[in-house]
Structure 1
Amino acid sequence: MPSLCPVVTCWERGPQHWAVQGQKRVASCRLWQRSLPCGWSCWETTNHPFTYRSFHFFVLWCHAQGENHPSPNFNQYVREQGAVTDQLSRRQVRVYQLYSRTSGKHVQIQGKRVTATAEDGNNYARLFVETDTFGSRVRIKGAESGRYLCMNRKGKLVGKPNGRSRDCIFTEIVLENNYTAFQNAKYEGWYVAFTRKGRPIKASKTRENQREVHFIKRLHKGPLPFPNMDRIKHFEFISFPPTRRAKRNRKSQTAA
């Protein structure tokens, strides 16, 4: 319901009827007093009731249309945007190892060959994990070999020099047992998995609840990949000449 303004007084003046609000004549009408909605003027008495009721029903109709309008679905927006590579945002690169729950070793990419047999701190076990979009989608690149972890149409893990295709993009899934699983973005339901001997398992035979698809992220013990970060920084104390106040304090302490 529109808000009401102060009472508007209308009176008859010659052949026309005028409304006065302050010192301003606004419209034609006959003599009456009533509170009108803000911004309204007076009309002729014969037309005013119909116009006012029409406007009232129009406001109620607009209000009903606004309530029936569906609210935006944020989950659908996340799914749609997460399926597309983000070309505008800055890439975030993390460096760590992937510890396999079944083999007890770390994932390594050696050329086209991908295994989970690397010891802790091995150069081939150091991985660069680059974000692809905000939907937990990443690209995994071997720091030593420079190849990306990918999955072909047969479900086999391979290393490729170029990781732009969708078969080289994986979705990080944090499980209830705090392990992490990596599902391929192109082949939904296919996961990165290894046997007890560290050999890759065909992805079409994998499930999320299997031990073979569970990994733990671990920091690499080797040298850090960024320059000037492997140097040990020490604190240096700089001595300044004593001020006058410090000298006075020393003299007072020695005199006491």
Structure 2
Amino acid sequence: MLHSVTLQVFSGDLSLYRDSESQQTSADFRIYIENHTRNPDDVSRKQVRIYQLYSRTTGKHVQILGKKINANGDDGGKYALLVVETETFGSHIRIKGKESDHYICMNEKGKIVGRPDGRKQECVFVEEFLENNYTALVSAKYKGWYLGFNRKGRPKKGSRTTQRQQEVHFMKRQPKGQVAPLEEFRFTTVTKRTRRARRLKPNPKRN
């Protein structure tokens, strides 16, 4: 009888230990996810790509001149080449100018600025893929505030943007004269007419 009671007590203690261990593991994993999502600076998880962001409103490309950022860059321009660091968790990215070495950031007033250090949350954006083949970039820190530019290429305040505005719509494009790595990333052209023309144009290499 004593052995039976002892066994039951031991089994109960073991069950409580397993439950406690399971809860601790779950909590640790949740903290791990939160920390790695909140602090996107882990080099081991970072994927880097270089491309351009075509602005729907200006017909030009986003360029980082240093502290100043606009959407008036030419195709293939050195300041329009962007180094995009993508995180494994979600679609969190940081955008740095290849030439200027400054990151696109959004401060507490919603102003778009260039900063040499992109580790802060203000320099992290979340990609939102739209049905019209465009991409919108919303601030990871200030919810509902988007990266956007007016028709003159000047940055818009994040507080004055919405996802439906054309000012916040961009297309990822390879620099002029370079071939897109389709196996890694899907890059889109500017118009449907351009895509049709490219499909109909004969390939001289086949002749």
TM normalised by structure 1 equals 0.56
The separation in 2 between residues aligned to 1:131 and 1:105, in whole angstroms, is: 23
Q: Are residues 88 and 109 of structure 1, via their aligned partners in 2, closer, same or farther at CA, if it must alter by over 3 Å?
A: closer
The separation in 1 between residues aligned to 2:134 and 2:32, in whole angstroms, is: 27
**Which among 108, 127, 136 is matched to residue 153 of structure 1?**
108
**Which among 53, 73, 92 is matched to residue 5 of structure 2?**
53
Task: Kindly state the Cα deviation for residue 144 of structure 1 after the two structures are TM-superposed.
Answer: 3.0
What residue in structure 2 maps to residue 143 of structure 1?
98
Consecutive unaligned residues of structure 1, counting only runs of 5 or more, are 1-48, 225-256
Give the residue type in structure 1 aligned to 2:120.
Answer: R
Does structure 1 residue 182 correspond to structure 2 residue 137? yes
Give the residue type in structure 2 aligned to 1:192.
Answer: L
The separation in 2 between residues aligned to 1:151 and 1:92, in whole angstroms, is: 22
What residue in structure 2 maps to residue 14 of structure 1?
none
Give the residue type in structure 2 aligned to 1:108.
Answer: Q
8 Å CA contact 2:61–2:72 kept in 1: the answer is yes
CA RMSD of aligned residues (A): 3.1
- Larger gyration radius, structure 1 or structure 2: 1
Of Structure 1 and Structure 2, which has the larger fraction of its residues in helix? 2
The separation in 1 between residues aligned to 2:140 and 2:128, in whole angstroms, is: 16
Q: Are residues 52 and 167 of structure 1, via their aligned partners in 2, closer, same or farther at CA, if it must alter by over 3 Å?
A: closer
Task: Kindly state the Cα deviation for residue 143 of structure 1 after the two structures are TM-superposed.
Answer: 2.3
Does structure 1 residue 89 correspond to structure 2 residue 41? no
Give the residue type in structure 2 aligned to 1:109.
Answer: I
**Which among 58, 63, 74 is matched to residue 103 of structure 1?**
58
Q: Are residues 210 and 80 of structure 1, via their aligned partners in 2, closer, same or farther at CA, if it must alter by over 3 Å?
A: farther
Of Structure 1 and Structure 2, which has the larger fraction of its residues in strand? 1
The separation in 2 between residues aligned to 1:214 and 1:137, in whole angstroms, is: 17
Deviations 1:29-51 (A, max 9, x none): xxxxxxxxxxxxxxxxxxxx222
Which stretch of the first structure deviates more once superposed, 82-91 or 101-110? 82-91
Task: Kindly state the Cα deviation for residue 98 of structure 1 after the two structures are TM-superposed.
Answer: 0.5
Q: Relative contact order, CA 8 A, sep 6+: which one is greater?
A: 2
What residue in structure 2 maps to residue 194 of structure 1?
149
Give the residue type in structure 2 aligned to 1:181.
Answer: A
The separation in 2 between residues aligned to 1:52 and 1:152, in whole angstroms, is: 66
What residue in structure 1 maps to residue 125 of structure 2?
171
What residue in structure 2 maps to residue 128 of structure 1?
83
Does structure 1 residue 207 correspond to structure 2 residue 156? no
Q: Are residues 67 and 104 of structure 1, via their aligned partners in 2, closer, same or farther at CA, if it must alter by over 3 Å?
A: same
Give the residue type in structure 2 aligned to 1:52.
Answer: S
Task: Kindly state the Cα deviation for residue 135 of structure 1 after the two structures are TM-superposed.
Answer: 4.6
The separation in 2 between residues aligned to 1:139 and 1:119, in whole angstroms, is: 21
The separation in 1 between residues aligned to 2:128 and 2:155, in whole angstroms, is: 21
Consecutive unaligned residues of structure 2, counting only runs of 5 or more, are 180-207
The separation in 1 between residues aligned to 2:113 and 2:170, in whole angstroms, is: 18
Q: Are residues 222 and 147 of structure 1, via their aligned partners in 2, closer, same or farther at CA, if it must alter by over 3 Å?
A: farther
Task: Kindly state the Cα deviation for residue 107 of structure 1 after the two structures are TM-superposed.
Answer: 0.6
